[in-house]
Structure 1
Amino acid sequence: MRVIIYIITKSEVGGAQTWVRDQTKLFQEDFRQVIITNSKGWLSENNFSDNIYYVKEIESKFSIIAFLKILKILVKEKADTVVSSSANAGLYARLCKAFYKHNSIYVSHGWSCIYNGGKLKKVFIKIEKILSYLTNTVLCVSEKDADNAVNVININLDKIKVVRNSVFPQKVRNIKDIGNLNILSVGRLAHPKRFDLLIDAVNEINGVTLTVVGDGPDRSKYQDTTNIKFLGEIKSFSNFHDYDLFSLISDSEGLPMSALEAASAGLPLLLSDVGGCCELIDENGFITLNNKDEIIQHIEEIKSNYTKFSDNALSIKDRFNLNIQKKAYYNLYFNTNQSKTVVIN
């Protein structure tokens, strides 16, 4: 039986972890699937894999112990394909390529070397370029990620494939007339998310409420008010259909899974103009600069013309169905019917 191993640095709830979870569900009947991550957590409790290995040292920027443990697992499992998500996982997985022959795929969920590199940005970009030589395929989750891979990191175009992030169909929002506009935002309360901007905007608009699902180090900065509620972390949250608008304000993203889930439920979207977010907007909402006044303007326009935005959102919800992408992923994992062109839903 063919064997695929997913390597991801942390098991905590997040977009990349949701992507791995959904892959294991999509292919649970097709081949053996194994996960390597740091410790028990959200992903270890929410997946459809055949086995999970824990390598605590994978959290380190580089650990020879982590490298040897991961290499040993790849050999033991006789891995055909290794799919790595996140920078640390990508480093270890691709170094293993030099010692164990396999199909090496690195998934870019937004290039952290570009957006979060800080003063060492040029160094991290150079490292990513070097690691691409040990990679069969760089899988980009959006066209924006692919553009950055080629034009900023200078990765060979032949290695780039785009399969846009998608999700399993969500329960669809009940169509109804709205009085108050109920906004939902889902994400970790930490950099690069900008809940501060969204909260400040909502506080200046009448007839609007905001519900935040998520937890993190910035939680202590915020308090519940009459129009803003914090529900904390909800594992496998799926109640998108209970809200009128989904908003994600952030300084960097790939193609956010929470926004895809909201779009699949037929919600209008208000997203920051970062990463591939613009690829989710087609008259079903707005892309916004991270500016309070502009966010207010967009919320007010959606509220005033809600039927139009809701109808448009419902009309395109099926674009984000992961089941449609199954063949594209299978071909990628096992080098079947590959072409040099990108694959986009």
Structure 2
Amino acid sequence: MTIAYMITKGDIGGAQTWTRDQVHLFDGKEKQILITNKPGWLSDECSNLAKIFYFSKIERIFSILTLFSIVRVMRNQSVKTIVASSANAGIYARLCKILYPKVRVVYVSHGWSCIYNGNRFKKLFIMVEKLLSYITDAVLCVSEKDKYDAIEVIKIPAKKVKYIRNCVFPRSTAPFKVKGERIKVLFLGRLEHPKRPDLLIEAISGNPNFQLDIVGDGPLRASCKSSDNITFHGSIYNFNDFFKYDLFALISDSEGLPMAALEAASSGIPLMLSNVGGCPELITNNGLLVENCPDSIKKALICIEQNYSFYREQATSKSKDFDLSKHYAQYRQIYLSCS
């Protein structure tokens, strides 16, 4: 059987990391292909595990010629299931179903952009997503919040909505912080909307009890203030040094279920996340949720500092709850429609 993963852009990001991990999860078990816009981080990560096809127009205005070309690939590769992530890829994948009815289409929601980023076109985008769901075999949600929005807001038929909480392959766990040392905080993410590194910087700047390392780059970097206890590392290819930190902080205006937070949780370090999207589903005494204002972030930092041993013990004990390999059978059932 052949699974085709389709994603609009191959640059590094949460949906791309999720796709990479799926390819690794099914390696050696099913034939796999990847369809994206151009060579990049994702194709580099999957080059030895999946056959890759590039369609540059997949990220632009819809092209009927691109659709026909993708369908041709599906037929030639005998694809049984398309697993699509991101909006444009989701449209192409669903329309493939019309021209190639034997294929099974699974659309993966990494946070419903039609709801959070629709602005004045929100109702139109929601209507389009609902219509597309009728030519979708399954809508896979990565958080309970996404599942709720799929059924209650977009009105996708409940029988088509599936839920498997995002997970990651186990990470190296971190050693306990030496008492008295300042807390090393990690912010990992592309510096662009909806991320809010500015709020975290304002809350930590000048506080000698905390050291903030920001890993990532993007258009917001130019407006981020500098401070003696804040270091900008830029983008780091395949960052995996969570175990070197005492706290992971992600401040954002909207999220699905952030992959970086899952990776940090798998490393056994406490989390401090914005109270948005699926983030509350990752916090059970292993960290704190905050509102997007400096005062809320400052209060959470003080609370974590004063009760660090408790939060760290909780985070360590829950680190095994985020193991992706435990969910292989569930994904296989959704993708291949088998028990």
Structure 1 residue 299 and structure 2 residue 301: aligned?
Answer: yes
Report what 2:198 is aligned to.
196
Partner SS, residue 46 of structure 1: helix
Structure 1 residue 162 and structure 2 residue 163: aligned?
Answer: yes
The one-letter amino acid of 1:84's match is A
Residues 169-222 of structure 1: CA deviation (Å, up to 9, x unaligned): 000001132411110011110000011111111115331111111111222223
Partner SS, residue 162 of structure 2: strand
Moved over 3 A (4+): none
RMSD value over aligned CA atoms?
Answer: 1.1
Report what 1:325 is aligned to.
327
In structure 1, how many angstroms separate the alpha carbons of the residues matched to 2:292 and 2:224?
Answer: 19
Q: For structure 2, list consecutive stretches of 5 or more residues without a partner in the other structure.
A: none
Deviates more, 1:67-76 or 1:137-146: 67-76
Report what 2:41 is aligned to.
42
Residues 266-287 of structure 1: CA deviation (Å, up to 9, x unaligned): 0100001111110100101111
Q: Are the counterparts in 2 of residues 247 and 270 from structure 1 also a CA contact under 8 Å?
A: yes
In structure 2, how many angstroms separate the alpha carbons of the residues matched to 1:69 and 1:297?
Answer: 54
Deviation, structure 1 residue 225: 3.1
In structure 1, how many angstroms separate the alpha carbons of the residues matched to 2:76 and 2:254?
Answer: 37
Q: Are the counterparts in 1 of residues 273 and 289 from structure 2 also a CA contact under 8 Å?
A: yes
Report what 1:222 is aligned to.
224
Deviates more, 1:213-222 or 1:91-100: 213-222
Partner SS, residue 275 of structure 1: coil
The one-letter amino acid of 2:151's match is V
The one-letter amino acid of 1:228's match is I
- Report how many aligned residue pairs link the two structures: 336
Q: Are the counterparts in 1 of residues 201 and 224 from structure 2 also a CA contact under 8 Å?
A: no
Report what 1:105 is aligned to.
106
Structure 1 residue 279 and structure 2 residue 272: aligned?
Answer: no
Q: Are the counterparts in 2 of residues 8 and 37 from structure 1 also a CA contact under 8 Å?
A: yes
Q: Report % sequence identity.
A: 49
In structure 1, how many angstroms separate the alpha carbons of the residues matched to 2:41 and 2:226?
Answer: 25
In structure 1, how many angstroms separate the alpha carbons of the residues matched to 2:113 and 2:89?
Answer: 13
Alignment of 1:1-345 (within 5 A): 2-47=1-46, 48-100=48-100, 101-178=102-179, 179-203=181-205, 205-222=207-224, 224-337=226-339
Q: Are the counterparts in 2 of residues 205 and 296 from structure 1 also a CA contact under 8 Å?
A: no
In structure 2, how many angstroms separate the alpha carbons of the residues matched to 1:77 and 1:317?
Answer: 39
Deviates more, 1:18-27 or 1:195-204: 195-204
The one-letter amino acid of 2:261's match is A
Deviation, structure 1 residue 223: 5.3
Q: For structure 1, list consecutive stretches of 5 or more residues without a partner in the other structure.
A: 338-345
Deviation, structure 1 residue 64: 1.6
Deviates more, 1:238-247 or 1:178-187: 178-187
Report what 1:341 is aligned to.
none
In structure 2, how many angstroms separate the alpha carbons of the residues matched to 1:122 and 1:133?
Answer: 18
